Structure 1
Amino acid sequence: MLTPLRNAYYLSFPVVMGAVLSNRMATRLSDVEPIHWATPIVLALAVFVIYTVDRLFDVQKAGASTATLTARHRFHRQHAPLLWRVVAVAALLALVLAFFLPTGVIKFGIILGGICAAYVGAVFRLPTRHPALLLKEPLVALLYSVGIWGSVWVQRPVVSGIEITEFAMFIGIAFQNLILFDVMEVREVASQPVFSLASEWGEPRCDLILRWLTFGVVAAGLTICFVTHDRFAQRSALMLALMSLTLYSIQRYPAYFLRNERYRWLGDGVFWMPALVL
């Protein structure tokens, strides 16, 4: 009964929808209206393509070994031929719809898309335990956040300090999400951990980083509530703080959230929380 839902999860549907909802929050915060109808569709397709291609390259790079593959990666390996065809169709559809977008958004998309393609290609070519791969988490957090917020900002002549602060909070949350997942994956496959920041830095250091990220995001959110009278800016800042606190709750109770990959469901689900303020 849960198979369709689990498949949607393996296909990064929560991340894709989270990107669309977060983009909508950034749009309202920046007061960019109206947003072209194709914008959320192209964004969703782009996120799906990037995440799926990255995982398909991961399983291709792993070869015959399955020891360190997560359930999501095993799903991508099992359905790789079909997924490559789906990626091709999604990329073509995104390319066609992109011609309906404003010129500034198209230029922004071309630049960011080129950077993402270079990133995915570099990750695929680097050896399995190359030190540069440790930059994956901060780079993914940055690129994901830039795609969501940058596509809004290119439609504005000026970006306010409040918007920049909430963008920085969002980057912190995205990085917190990825580091948390690394830590939980190390706990899942303790006998043969995946090469990541968590496996190299160690759990105590990662826990400390996650705590400081939570403190920084919450502090920034509360500060925004005191320095602006914009009600939506206040609500969105508090929602970002709650997103970070939700991830912190997973960190606090790892044994509970490791069961049935609960940490992944809730960890990716936090990016749906902006819907509560829209």
Structure 2
Amino acid sequence: MISVEELYQRFTWLSLDVVFGAMGGLLFFSKLLRVPLPWTIYALLGMAVWVIYTFDHLMDSRKLSKGTNMDRHTFHQKHALALWFLLIINSVIGLYGAYVTFGIGKELLVASVLGGMILLLMLLIRMLPISFHWLKEANTAIFYVLGIALLPFLRFSFEDWEWQIGLLMTGYIGLAYLNLIMLSWLDSGKDQASGFGSLLSVLSKEKVGSLIRRLAFFLIAAFLLCLVFFPSFYRVFASLLLLMALIHYLTFYDKKLTASQIRFRMEATFFIPWLLLFW
């Protein structure tokens, strides 16, 4: 019988954790900017995120030799044909759904340009020498947050802009980057053995560990200050980001947990913005 941990592992291998995390992030920015969105926007975002991440993992899995133990990548290598089929189907349905939902206009054009940029940069980083692969985490963090915040910002009236919005968005990017470099640190041995580049391609594991600690402390302190000094409306969002940062820090440095357990818990923190459904 498959355990809950094994079931969740397969859930993450299929990038469904990233999908629901991204949809939670969309809810975060929808509430932050006070721009209500229909459920179809969440579904389209989820499909787009799944296509991008699955494409990324399928491309990575092509580099592996048979029998390499990379878990997620081995899964994508083994089921490549079925996943490519699902990727194409999701792409076609997603594009049609986007056309029906947005029509031919600014929103569809901007979303298509952003999606194209993300895929292009993913391929470009792979073509660069491995010493440039430190860009992968920074690129992913920035475009991840831009992607989930895109529609709320396109429908937002910038006459209502307040500086707290910019700080919270920057904090979300910082948190996404912290998550990615923590995961790279955990997977450093496997990545190096399989020729995958990351921040650890240019910095030692000790230096990346120091960066992780300093960034975590900085984000926790920054979100705590936001919680204290922001107006009451923005404190809700600062408190969620503070909770997510604290869980990352406490989980990453919990010596009782295995690498898999640390990964699962940190990735699950991006479900926390779903609490905004009750607010």
TM-score (norm: length of structure 1): 0.88
Deviates most, 3-12 or 191-200? 191-200
Residue 238 of structure 2: aligned partner: 237
Structure 2 distance, partners of 1:191, 1:57, is 17
After TM superposition, list the pairs within 5 Å mapping 1:99-178 onto structure 2: 99=99, 100-101=101-102, 103-124=105-126, 126=127, 130-158=130-158, 159-178=161-180
Structure 1 distance, partners of 2:193, 2:9, is 26
Structure 1 distance, partners of 2:131, 2:28, is 36
**What is the DSSP-based 3-state SS (H/G/I as helix, E as strand, rest coil) of the residue aligned with 2:202?**
helix
Amino acid at match of 2:202: E
Residue 225 of structure 2: aligned partner: 223
After TM superposition, list the pairs within 5 Å mapping 1:62-77 onto structure 2: 62-64=63-65, 67=68, 70-77=70-77
The answer as to whether partners of 2:130 and 2:201 remain within 8 angstroms in 1 is no
Change (3 A) 1:137 1:254: farther
The answer as to whether partners of 2:20 and 2:271 remain within 8 angstroms in 1 is yes
Deviates most, 235-244 or 209-218? 209-218
Structure 2 distance, partners of 1:150, 1:117, is 16
The answer as to whether partners of 2:134 and 2:201 remain within 8 angstroms in 1 is no
Change (3 A) 1:117 1:190: closer
Residues 1:267 and 2:266 are matched in the alignment:
yes
Unaligned runs of 5+ in 2: none
Amino acid at match of 2:27: R
Residues 1:50 and 2:49 are matched in the alignment:
no
Amino acid at match of 2:138: P
Unaligned runs of 5+ in 1: none
The answer as to whether partners of 1:185 and 1:194 remain within 8 angstroms in 2 is no
Change (3 A) 1:189 1:229: closer
Structure 1 distance, partners of 2:16, 2:49, is 10
Structure 2 distance, partners of 1:64, 1:23, is 37
Taking every aligned residue pair, what percent have the same amino acid on both sides? 24
Structure 1 distance, partners of 2:175, 2:87, is 27
**What is the DSSP-based 3-state SS (H/G/I as helix, E as strand, rest coil) of the residue aligned with 1:31?**
coil
Structure 2 distance, partners of 1:80, 1:123, is 22
Amino acid at match of 1:243: M
**What is the DSSP-based 3-state SS (H/G/I as helix, E as strand, rest coil) of the residue aligned with 1:156?**
coil
Structure 2 distance, partners of 1:109, 1:5, is 30
Instruction: Compute the displacement of 1:226 (Å).
Output: 3.4
Instruction: Compute the displacement of 1:139 (Å).
Output: 0.2
Structure 1 distance, partners of 2:275, 2:196, is 35
After TM superposition, list the pairs within 5 Å mapping 1:185-204 onto structure 2: 185-186=187-188, 194-204=196-206
CA RMSD after TM alignment: 2.2
The answer as to whether partners of 1:21 and 1:272 remain within 8 angstroms in 2 is yes
Instruction: Compute the displacement of 1:43 (Å).
Output: 0.5
Structure 1 distance, partners of 2:184, 2:59, is 19
Instruction: Compute the displacement of 1:190 (Å).
Output: 8.1
Structure 2 distance, partners of 1:110, 1:189, is 31
1:50-89 superposed Cα distances (whole Å, 9 cap, x missing partner): 00000101111x152654x520000000000000000001
